[in-house]
Amino acid sequence: MSKQKILNVNGKQVSVIKNDQLDYISLTDIAKYRNNVEPADIVKNWTRSRSTIEFLGLWEKLNNNNFKLVEFDQFRKEAGHNYFVLSPQRWIEQTGAIGLISKSGRYGGTFAHKDIAFEFASWISAEFKLYLIKEFQRLKENENTSLKLEWNLQRTLAKVNYRILTDAIKERLIPLELTNEQIQAVYASEADLLNMALFGITAKQWRETNLSKAGNMRDQAAIEQLVVLSNLESINSVLIHQGLKQSQRLQQLNGVAITQMKSLIGNKNLRRLHAK
């Protein structure tokens, strides 16, 4: 679960967290728009109504394979009776629901998937819901901008490291007698060496199978791949200085690429980067 982010919704602070890469918005904070003293009671009152239970149940059926239908049907039958009380904690524990999250502590409260949070906001105030949607959209736009900046940073890093690699090629692989055409051929060969090590195909092969995509295979690469690519460029320059043949370098670079990609895929810090 990620660190909370705060939305300023018409003068009210509303917390947003990520859980399994999904956005959850604080119902407790939304409820404070109506009752700043006992917002938890507002959430309970909303949760216990038949229409809310049916909505929550439908959401879970669409998104949760482990949702307990028997327990859900029992809640639906009891809804509407004066004696019926339903807290978010009880709903989560007895039905296995994932649309709501109950957190304790200073920054706790009830959080709901954005679909559910917007429904709750409608119950609180149609006006407040519109402000909430607007600020949530602003948050997502800022996150997308941040992700693009990180991607461009890694792309630039890969280009800088490629300059280091080309300097090593000039020093070790290109005899002075070669023509310009021959030099370019060597550069292309070295670029595809990295492509093969990381992507398993050459640039030409990628273009032939991705005619509808813009740019090249590196433009379409994931952040993890660009991180590994920048590392491979530096490592390859060292291997060139060591005098290893291209076939030997390809084998070593492929092994490095496999190891680093496995490490990055399970890296929590890189997952946080995606989640920003």
Buried/exposed code over 91-125 (b: 16+ C-beta within 10 A; e: otherwise): bbeebebbbbbbbeeeeebbbbbbebbbbbbebbe
Which range has the worst mean pLDDT, 54-63, 65-74, 159-168, 215-224?
159-168
Domain parsing of the chain, residue ranges: 5-124, 143-275
d(CA 73, CA 95): 10
Determine which of 8-12, 38-42, 269-273 has the lowest per-residue pLDDT on average.
269-273
d(CA 165, CA 267): 27
The CA distance from 7 to 119, in Å, is 17
Give pLDDT tens digits for 219-263. 888 777 888 888 888 898 888 888 888 888 888 888 888 888 877
Question: Are the CB atoms for 172 and 240 separated by under 8 Å?
Answer: yes
pLDDT tens digit sequence for 180-198: 665 555 656 788 888 888 8
What was the pLDDT predicted at 16? 93
pLDDT band at 175 (very low <50, low <70, confident <90, very high): very low
Percent of the chain with pLDDT over 70: 79
